[in-house]
Chains A and B, each alone.
Chain A
Amino acid sequence: MPAIWLTLIVLAISAIGFFMGRQRALASAGGDSRNLHSLPIYYGSNAFMKSIVPAFGLMVLWMLVQPLFIDNRVVQMIPENEVAQGSNVGLVMSEVRRTADGLSKAVDVGLLDEETARNGAADLADVTQRLKDAGQVVTSEITQTVLNASQAYRSMAQTSNIMMTIAVLIVAVAGAAWGTMESTKSFRARNTVEQGVLALLIAAASVAILTTIGIILSLIFNTIEFFRLYPASEFFFLLEWAPSFSGRGGASSLGILPLLWGTLYISFVALLVAVPIGLFAAIYLSEYARPKMRSIAKPMLEILAGIPTIVYGLFALLTIGPILLSVFGDDGLGWMQGQRAVLTAGLAMGIMLIPFVSSLSDDIINAVPQAMRDGSYGLGATKSETIKQVVLPAALPGIVGAILLAASRAIGETMIVVLGAGAAARLSLNPFEAMTTVTAKIVSQLTGDSDFASPEALVAFALGMTLFIMTLGLNVFALYIVRKYREQYE
């Protein structure tokens, strides 16, 4: 039974529970809701909640565990020697899943009867042909083992589905019945429902924690896997990045240093653009601009912040790159070879970060108490003296925090560097050369057709881990500084 039908049936059972709970409560109070502890709706909600929450919980849990369980059982059916050279169990398993899926579809269109689909002794050639007739993608790699494994996979999945349907329905009905039985006039339905709602609220708040855990686990497991295949010392200290493409043989050099250098260099260029412009813009807006000017200029700058990064990437590749090339390229000064360069990506990223720096700094400068400024003006200081010698020193920690946050943004930025920075990893000081970054390589290593078990793909997780730790460190530190700073003036 498809999950969507099961969902609807569970909903229906819970709805029935709602009305029964409500009715029973009213009946126990002799039809007068004033005799009830809580409003009638709470009795209904209680039954509804007790039916739907455990049923859906079980369903989700089952659907998460089922593939793991079945995979585990089916993998045992595949002998070690069946796994072809250069392949792995993972690939065979996806083949098994695909074949199982194909079998079901072939049965659906009537080209295969249920009997044959389940029959372990069925003729391989015949079934393959029938699958092809049914329009299913069949690779030549289907072996007897794969066919048998997929038949087992299919029957286990079917059994499991039926069991799940039954279990979920039982839980739903039992919950509804329990909620209904509870509904007597002295039952504190409101408190129970409210506790349930509170639990849901806590669960929602925990999603943030789950996300963090998910990020950390997915990075850690794959990184460990990577370091099993590739020496960590080379990853951290090798000065070369040259992945070999899978299948072509030869060892890859996967040193992170050239990528880190590219990342930091481009981020540095970006900050070189964004910090002075953003900071002066913030100073102007908060100290000099009249309210009318401010109300125009501030949203205009913030438009820059609302533009998606893909737009900046395109702008870098197709506008900034050609302009730089016409000045510094072979027709001009002859320093630049292609449109993609550190400067191209850095400039675009700098433009993107201007509003980020300016709005954070603006907030921070505004948090400096007016009394400070008055004190300085009262002594005959000019505005710029007041800003340079009183306001900025007072705001310095906050501004440093803002710049660190901007740096973290720059380091984690992907689309601009993917489009604007180039693909070659280089350790060079020349800003007119193409370089690449950690994020760009994560994208290129994971979007190709390479299989997930190769070090060339797994390295992306190690890169991701490095990126995560770097940005997390910067963020935690920056947020700490900014918080301390705010507390000072609160």
Chain B
Amino acid sequence: MTDAAMTPDSAHPSKSLTHADERTKKRNAAERRFHAYGIGAICTGMFFLIALLAAILSSGLPAFRQAVVEVPFTLTQEQYDEAEKALLKTGKYTEYFVTSLTDAMESEGVEIEFDKKAIERLLGKVGGDLRAYYRENEDQLGTPVSFELAAASRVDRYLKGTFKREDLQSGNRFFMPEDFNLIDAMREAGLIKQVFNWNFLTGVDTGVDNPGGAGIGASVLGSFFMMLVVLVLSLPIGVAASIYLEEFAPKNRFTDFIEVNISNLAAVPSIVFGILGLAVFIQFAHLPQSAPLVGGLVLTLMTLPTIIISTRASLKAVPPSIRDAALGVGASKMQAVFHHVLPLAAPGILTGTIIGLAQALGETAPLLLIGMVGFVARYPDTFVEGFIEPNSAVPAQIYNWAARSDAVFTEKAWGGIIVLLLFLITMNTIAVILRRRFERRW
């Protein structure tokens, strides 16, 4: 801060302001160090945030891509009849496919030997798909058709670089070392392309035999039904409780007790709510296990304190003069609250509710205890079944995938996180917009 050259004449009695003495220099150095700690802390926090987002995006985005093999294919009437007469009908179709694929690659100048088994390892039951197509569309016989066939998950991962030749363990029935050459050949011939994996968004969970086909759709629906229950129950109950506590409650022990209860419930670990749900809703009330209805009830109880706290804050923010004005024209207290205070507080209440819902949407632990983590591979048939049939939820599905050892499921878990975060970002953005739009300064 100061020129070193000027220090010598700081000896004179009246201290000059432009010279920092030794002590001040030390103090200023301490000040700078302290400031640096603060910046360091902020930067560390930011670093963690960026690392987290980078991990999510880099590991999760591949789940949205899917390798397909596109092969031009023509089936003549004679071939069709011959295949339909054969003993192994689908096997015959696969043979035709092998031929077309070989031709397609040769026309691009790539030559490779492979058999039916290799095709089934890499592209699944191609023969069955082809047969099903031609039995449906007999008019397509004889005309060239371009088939897009989803590649197996290992092909996918090999192309993405997360599965390498040296990773392959010997004796794997699902993948042989020579398959790598076939993939390379198909890639060289330009037959493989990457498409958006719609199945991941719309599909249902699958078993360990088909990790590539697993989708998050059914559990999104499970989460949706849960959130519906949470919204329908927690909003009215939360608002009613807040109105009572903020506007009507006399200052007595009962009210104090409720207040203490609410502030403590807000900090009770979520797993304890899971225990509550298991004991009360499933053991005691015999509600169906793994049902979104039960999950919704548990999450409602968990979300209520959050909603009550934010609703009370919004009610408190409405100035007393509004209440006085309504009472002054002869409205009852109830009318003053419902006609004037509540509408004015509505944006704040809505914001708090959305944030509470977003919290509930990401909650996992209680769902594990009420059994919403089982393997569920179907969509509910009707609206009512959506509430009571066993289902999963997005975070529980993510946990389920993460707990399986297959690396494809790991990728799906990260992909699921992206889906979950997109929902959360959307909800929070709506909340922020509502707050900005309707924010009122009294």
Binding site for B on A (CB under 8 A): 4, 64, 67, 97, 190-191, 194, 197-198, 200-209, 211-212, 214-215, 218-219, 221-222, 276-281, 283-285, 287-289, 297, 300-301, 303-304, 306-315, 317-319, 351, 354-355, 358, 382-385, 387-388, 405, 408-409, 411-415, 418-419, 439, 442-443, 446-447, 452, 460-461, 464, 467-468, 471-472, 475-476, 479
Contacts and interface: CB of A to CB of B under 8 A. Distances in A.
Contacts of A354: 45, 48
Given A319-B51, A447-B373, A382 B31 contact: yes
Contact of A415 (B48, B241, B285, B399): B399
Contact of A309 (B30, B364, B410): B364
Nearest to B245: A205
A13 B365 CA distance: 42
Given A201-B244, A204-B240, A311-B421, A412 B264 contact: no
17 contacts: A204-B237, A204-B238, A207-B301, A214-B276, A215-B272, A215-B276, A284-B41, A301-B45, A304-B52, A308-B395, A310-B420, A311-B52, A313-B399, A351-B52, A385-B27, A405-B267, A472-B264
Contacts of A472: 264, 268
Contacts of A408: 267, 269
Contacts of B181: none
A160 to B, nearest CB: 14
Given A218-B284, A315-B55, A384-B34, 16 more contacts: A67-B285, A198-B334, A200-B240, A205-B258, A208-B305, A211-B261, A277-B41, A279-B41, A284-B35, A284-B39, A311-B52, A318-B410, A382-B31, A383-B35, A419-B403, A439-B365
Interface in B311-349: 332, 334
Contact of B268 (A301, A384, A412, A439): A412
A208 B55 CA distance: 39
A303 B49 contact: yes
A283 B41 CA distance: 10
Contact of A308 (B257, B263, B305, B424): B424
A475 B264 contact: yes
Given A313-B399, A313-B402, A277 B358 contact: no
A205 B286 CA distance: 26
Contacts of A205: 240-241, 244-245, 249, 258
A311 B368 contact: no
Contacts of B278: 218, 446
Given A208-B305, A306-B428, A446-B278, A280 B272 contact: no
A309 B363 CA distance: 7
B203 to A, nearest CB: 20
Interface hub of A211, A219, A276, A475 (most chain B Cβ within 10 A):
A211
Given A206-B258, A212-B264, A479-B263, A419 B41 contact: no
Interface of B: 27-28, 30-31, 33-35, 37-42, 44-46, 48-49, 51-52, 55-56, 59, 236-238, 240-241, 243-245, 248-249, 257-258, 261-265, 267-273, 275-276, 278-280, 283-286, 301, 304-305, 308, 332, 334, 358, 361-365, 368-369, 371, 373, 384, 395, 398-399, 402-403, 410, 413-414, 417, 420-421, 424, 428
A419 B402 contact: yes
Contacts of B28: 382
Given A285-B42, A314-B402, A414-B270, A194 B332 contact: yes
Contacts of A308: 361-364, 395, 420, 424
A419 B401 CA distance: 11
Contacts of B410: 318
B334 A197 contact: yes
Contacts of A358: 45
A452 B31 CA distance: 60
Contacts of A289: 42
A245 B51 CA distance: 40
B365 A443 contact: yes
Contacts of B48: 304, 351, 354
Contact of B261 (A197, A212, A315, A411): A212
A1 to B, nearest CB: 15
A315 B417 CA distance: 11
A468 B268 CA distance: 7
